[in-house]
Amino acid sequence: NAGVTQTPKFQVLKTGQSMTLQCAQDMNHNSMYWYRQDPGMGLRLIYYSASEGTTDKGEVPNGYNVSRLNKREFSLRLESAAPSQTSVYFCASRLAGVSEQFFGPGTRLTVL
Amino acid sequence: KQEVTQIPAALSVPEGENLVLNCSFTDSAIYNLQWFRQDPGKGLTSLLLIQSSQREQTSGRLNASLDKSSGRSTLYIAASQPGDSATYLCAGGGTSYGKLTFGQGTILTVHP
């Protein structure tokens, strides 16, 4: 049981490049989330998926898109990366009816 | 909009001391309150979850309380150890979708 896994662990992009951050969970959880963590700002919700087939915006969705590929996988895409998107990105999941969220190890992204 | 504040921002204590970390939130219509631990460069580990109908939860040397009327939660750590050194984050859940609003964390250092 791997829990929540994220790939890649580290990534460096140039301004304007695109990339997709992958997240998968093997706990049969219904809800999945993407957060970003920045110094002095704490963790902020980017997008979430309450259940398979649904996605919704969080606090800071601009510049991102998401896809809930199936119940296990929830990806985050940066179409045209900007230096302001340099951050640590965390994926989390939760079983509906049980509120505890479980987090992945994070992806450290630098945009030059 | 829910806002979560953690005080102090940093705390240094000698080994063996009992300590309290504080978390305050602005919206008393909180769905749940979750405490996490984060080690440097790592993801978040869930410590305790308190549902809105509960007043406290305990796990080993940790005890978390929730007082919705005053907008406060506390994390009590008994007999602290150097291995407890980490950043502690609290997060308030505002809806049944599990969206969390995070505080900025308290950096705890326990020195031998």
Three-state secondary structure along B22-86? EEEECCCCCCEEEEEEECCCCCEEEEEEEECCCCEEEECCEEEEEECCCCEEEEEECCCCHHHCE
Q: Which residues contact B22 (CB under 8 A, 6 or more apart)?
A: B6, B7, B8, B72, B73, B74, B106
Per residue in B88-105, pLDDT (tens digit) is 999 998 776 778 999 999
Q: Which of B43, B62, B52, B55 is nearest to B94 (CA)?
A: B52
Question: Mean of the pLDDT values across residues A35-64?
Answer: 93
pLDDT-above-70 percentage for chain A = 99
pLDDT higher than 90, residue A32: yes
Q: Which residues contact A112 (CB under 8 A, 6 or more apart)?
A: A12, A13, A14, A15, A83
Residues in B closer than 8 angstroms to A94, CB to CB, are 98
pLDDT-above-70 percentage for chain B = 99
Residues in A closer than 8 angstroms to B89, CB to CB, are 42-43
Distance from CA of B97 to the nearest CA of A (A): 6
Whole-number Å distance between alpha carbons of B71 and B33 = 11
Please report the pLDDT score of residue A42 as a whole number: 86
Mean confidence (pLDDT) of chain A: 94
Give the nearest chain B residue to A51 (CA atoms): B97
Residue type for position B94: G
Q: For B97, which of A40, A44, A48 is closest by C-beta distance?
A: A48
Please report the pLDDT score of residue B96 as a whole number: 63
